[in-house]
Amino acid sequence: MPKIRTSRTKPPPEGYEDIADVLEDYEKKMRDAENESHEGKRKAESVWPIMRISHARSRYIYDLYYKRELISRELYDWLIKQKYADADLIAKWKKQGYEKLCCVRCIQTRDMNFQGSTCICRVPKAVLKKGTVVECPHCGCRGCSSGD
């Protein structure tokens, strides 16, 4: 969640107005996902929509700065500082082999995954048996491996 702006916080840098509408849309989607009923869902499943929206917002900011080069470094740093994007996830996206990573939890080897390995969604699709449907237990993605 982005930080709440008060009179003491620094105003957004130039160029924020251009992307403010999109970020507000993500904010509305996030509020709707948080207020959604969790009845009949597993504990992990109730967080999946929130993680997907957070991932999409981070990917949007990443694409604006690194791929399309439409925002300045100052604005990018401000967005990261204000928690509009996940800095750890973006740092992984910049590395080879992690371009499609869905969440940082999928690559943590301690406490999260079976016997110190990575998540099942990181297994290349070529290695899996035909017809096997992979669903990440952490974020609900359908596979973020680069072996599509």
Q: Which of 55, 63, 64 is nearest to 89 (CA)?
A: 55
pLDDT, residue 138, reads: 74
Q: Which of 114, 85, 90, 67 is nearest to 22 (CA)?
A: 85
Q: Which of 53, 49, 60, 74 is nearest to 20 (CA)?
A: 60
pTM above 0.85, yes or no: no
Each residue of 41-57: pLDDT tens digit?
A: 887 788 888 989 999 99
Q: Which of 66, 68, 120, 124 is nearest to 90 (CA)?
A: 66
pLDDT, residue 114, reads: 60
Burial tier of 7 (Cβ tally within 10 Å: 0-12, 13-18, 19+):
exposed
Q: Per the structure block, which two tokens stand in for 124?
A: 């290349």
Each residue of 51-89: pLDDT tens digit?
A: 899 999 999 999 999 999 999 999 999 999 999 999 999
Output the CA–CA distances (angstroms, integers) from residue 85 to 62, 132, 145, in the order listed.
8, 32, 21
Average of per-residue pLDDT across 104-126: 72
